[in-house]
């Protein structure tokens, strides 16, 4: 029915039909008319906000090339175990085998520590969103991976080395180092751990390669026929090695974290590495060397005591080597941290607040 002018229905206000759920009141009509319609951009923004909750862990920065690092670290551990076995088996007497085992133990422990951390980083990276921000689960996963590497290394040592007390010490200490390395890799910042592993692995390789330059450096630093000249030359050679190793550690840490930062920015990851990450990554190899020394002195104590008891010269040698390893770790820690931090600082440019006034004046 239409409303005619002057009709009875024209004087009556419009009323919603009872039962019509689509009817609105005048107030609702005014409110609806006053609100702007939702645009497509706002809808997409709302959808992105909801997706952020589920994709936060996927966009967290990850460590690049962790599989390559794990393979290289395992290869280095295998090389250290093989070389130690060859050195021990080449000894003609048991006394010589004890001394050589004590000398070779630090290299094996450092390699096991780095290998456990490297494979644990790979395991955490493969789990990805399954562990996410849950620190306890990350720690358990990383430590479990280190346990597997440690058990595998201990089995290899027991199967390939001679069956004696020396072998048991090497196997147990190697397993402990791999487990501790895996636990260290359970840290929240995966790129930083990856940078520490890469820098530590490069430092270990450098130290072995540097051994070929020790004899020329002894002559360069004035090593003569007297014992005092030999001691002085040895100190300068050790300081030179530590300084160069720290530079290598800092540059490798900086390069790896810069790579991880650019990779994270390209993938839209949140919380890219900042300057404290570079500082920690540069100091990481030195911290691992000091941690390896603690493991050697605790787990390999019986082997070191046996080697020191052989003769007075062996006791002096073991004490001197232990002190040298501690000094080397401290040098690598500080030099590596400063090198990485300075290299990062040189990449910084002016902030946007400094650039905007210049752009406004030019306009």
| Per-residue model confidence (pLDDT) at position 292 | 95
Taking the C-alpha atoms of residue 288 and residue 114, their distance in angstroms, rounded to an integer, is 8
- Closest C-alpha among 293, 305, 328, 324 to residue 110: 293
| Per-residue model confidence (pLDDT) at position 64 | 83
| Per-residue model confidence (pLDDT) at position 118 | 94
| Per-residue model confidence (pLDDT) at position 191 | 86
Joined together, the tokens standing for residue 309 give 């008891």
pLDDT tens per residue across all 363 residues of the chain: 444 444 444 444 444 444 444 444 444 443 444 444 444 444 444 444 434 434 444 455 567 889 999 999 999 999 999 998 888 877 555 567 788 888 889 999 999 999 999 999 998 888 766 665 677 888 888 999 999 999 999 999 999 888 788 889 999 999 999 999 999 988 777 889 999 999 999 999 999 998 888 878 877 877 777 777 777 788 888 889 999 999 999 999 999 999 888 887 777 665 666 778 899 999 999 999 999 999 999 998 999 988 888 888 888 888 888 999 999 999 999 999 999 999 988 877 665 554 455 555 544
Taking the C-alpha atoms of residue 113 and residue 16, their distance in angstroms, rounded to an integer, is 78
| Per-residue model confidence (pLDDT) at position 5 | 45
Position of tokens 């650019």? 262
- Closest C-alpha among 126, 65, 57, 121 to residue 270: 57
> Which residues, 6+ apart, have CB-to-CB distance to 141 below 8 Å?
120, 123, 124, 127, 131, 186
| Per-residue model confidence (pLDDT) at position 199 | 95
Joined together, the tokens standing for residue 306 give 């046996």
Phi, psi of 131, rounded to the nearest 5 degrees: -95, -40
| Per-residue model confidence (pLDDT) at position 268 | 66
| Per-residue model confidence (pLDDT) at position 128 | 67
């Amino acid at each position: 029915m239409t409303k005619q002018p002057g009709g009875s229905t024209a004087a009556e206000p419009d009323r919603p039909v009872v039962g019509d759920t689509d009817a609105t009141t005048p107030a609702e009509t005014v409110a609806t008319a006053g609100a702007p319609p939702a645009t497509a951009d706002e809808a997409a923004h709302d959808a992105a906000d909801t997706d952020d909750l589920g994709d936060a862990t996927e966009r967290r920065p990850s460590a690049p090339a962790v599989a390559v690092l794990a393979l290289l670290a395992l290869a280095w551990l295998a090389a250290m175990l093989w070389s130690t076995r060859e050195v021990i088996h080449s000894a003609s007497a048991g006394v010589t085998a004890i001394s050589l085992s004590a000398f070779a133990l630090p290299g094996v422990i450092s390699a096991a520590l780095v290998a456990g951390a490297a494979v644990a980083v790979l395991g955490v990276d493969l789990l990805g969103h399954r562990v996410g921000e849950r620190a306890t689960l990350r720690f358990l996963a990383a430590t479990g991976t280190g346990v597997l590497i440690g058990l595998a290394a201990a089995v290899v040592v027991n199967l390939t080395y001679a069956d004696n007390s020396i072998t048991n010490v090497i196997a147990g200490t190697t397993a402990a180092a791999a487990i501790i390395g895996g636990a260290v890799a359970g840290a929240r910042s995966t790129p930083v751990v990856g940078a520490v592993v890469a820098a530590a692995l490069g430092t270990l390789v450098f130290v072995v390669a540097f051994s070929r330059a020790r004899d020329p450096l002894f002559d360069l630093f004035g090593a003569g026929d007297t014992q005092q000249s030999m001691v002085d030359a040895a100190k300068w050679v050790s300081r030179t090695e530590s300084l160069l190793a720290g530079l290598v550690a800092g540059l490798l840490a900086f390069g790896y974290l810069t790579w991880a930062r650019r990779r994270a920015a390209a993938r839209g990851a949140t919380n890219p590495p900042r300057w404290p990450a570079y500082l920690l990554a540069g100091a990481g190899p030195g911290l691992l060397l000091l941690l390896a020394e603690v493991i050697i002195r605790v787990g390999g104590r019986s082997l070191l005591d046996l080697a020191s008891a052989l003769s007075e010269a062996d006791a002096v040698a073991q004490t001197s080597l232990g002190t040298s390893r501690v000094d080397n770790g401290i040098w690598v820690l500080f030099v590596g941290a400063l090198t990485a931090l300075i290299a990062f600082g040189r990449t910084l440019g002016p902030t946007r607040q400094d650039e905007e006034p210049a752009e406004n004046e030019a306009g």
